[in-house]
Amino acid sequence: MMQKLSSLRLPWPTDWTALFGAERPLVLEIGFGYGQFLQHLARTKPGANIIGLEIANQCLDSAERAIGRKHLTNVRVIQSMAETALHHLFVPDSLSEVHINFPDPWFKKRHGHRRLIQRDTLDVLVSRMQVGATLYLATDIIEYAEMSAELLRDTPGLTNTLPADWANEMPGRVVTKYEGRAQRDGRSCYYFAYQRNDRPAPNVPVIKEIEMTHVVFQSPLNLDEMLARFEGVEQKFGDTIVRLLHGYRGRNVLLFEVYIHEPTIDQHVSFVVSPRETQQEYTIKVGTMGYPRSTPGLQQAVALMAEWVIGLSPDAKMVKHKLGDYVPESLSEEN
């Protein structure tokens, strides 16, 4: 099977015309589930490039198979959190239509930050919509509808196209899995349709990659001595969380498993510590495993690794680095 398209592998931003082989208006569905609605979009909008975002593997596989079986050539499914795709893949003013059908409600207050409809995500979404583009949202949960109505009302770049906050019917729609379940259980559905007006959108630039990072350091310790003292490290840098999780011994290297959470992207990558030809010198590099993308969080994680490993010995020191703005204070030249 071909490797899935993923926001971790696609170029930031993505050239959609090149990906589809045709320049056509972009229509986006977020969280397409088993993809009935996505296929309907592809069939009914042959003049558009249709993009579906999902995080669930099973949904991605199933939709991909159906698209192949039905020879739908104007649709692509992408493994991505919506937040990552919106910030990294799409440039401002590029989407002509957006659909969100039955987003996960995340009822509990402490899970509220995971909801798709929230201020920050709406801001980036509006910035990516062209003037005249429509955002369609459907939910069967009244609390989600009320919360969305309030947030959408407070979005200057969007104008409601319906006479009320929402409609309870949207004739002509193809019924999604969750919608069908709501109808069978007798629950009401709430449909929203907002159009991008010509008021200025929030300024949310595309987040591009920065220079790949590495560190060279000197230490009297050998690889085994370093590994023996590794206990895992976790640190918060504002909204970014870095976890140096596990260390492993390779033939002439140490390999570390690293998790990095940034507001727009989660990465699970590896760092490699390997000796250089010069005695007592080592390099910390980002391994290719996990397809790492060079973000500020990745630089901060390498800086944290350097700080930890150099901190193991008073005679260890940084030799050179590509850490941008993230040189830890303990390693800066004044120290």
Question: Which residues bind to ligand SAM, rule: CB under 6 A?
Answer: 30-33, 53-56, 59, 81-83, 101-104, 116, 176-179
Tell me whether residue 182 or residue 316 sits nearer to ligand SAM (CB atom): 182
The C-alpha atoms of residue 114 and residue 42 are separated, in whole angstroms, by: 28
- CB of residue 182 to ligand SAM, shortest distance in Å: 9
The C-alpha atoms of residue 117 and residue 96 are separated, in whole angstroms, by: 19
Tokens found for residue 184: 């069978």
198 is catalytic: no
- CB of residue 212 to ligand SAM, shortest distance in Å: 27
- CB of residue 104 to ligand SAM, shortest distance in Å: 5
Pairing state of beta strands 214-218 and 281-286?
Answer: antiparallel
Which candidate in 104, 154, 224, 315 is catalytic? 104
CB within 8 A of 146, min separation 6: which ones?
A: none
- CB of residue 83 to ligand SAM, shortest distance in Å: 6
> Which amino acid is it at 302?
V
**Cα dihedral across residues 232, 236, 237, 240: positive or negative:** positive
Strand positions, DSSP E, 71-149: 75-79, 95-101, 129-139
Tell me whether residue 54 or residue 257 sits nearer to ligand SAM (CB atom): 54
Tell me whether residue 101 or residue 299 sits nearer to ligand SAM (CB atom): 101
Helix (H) / strand (E) element for 215: namely strand 214-218
Tell me whether residue 42 or residue 53 sits nearer to ligand SAM (CB atom): 53
DSSP state of 233: E
User: Which residues belong to the active site?
Assistant: 104
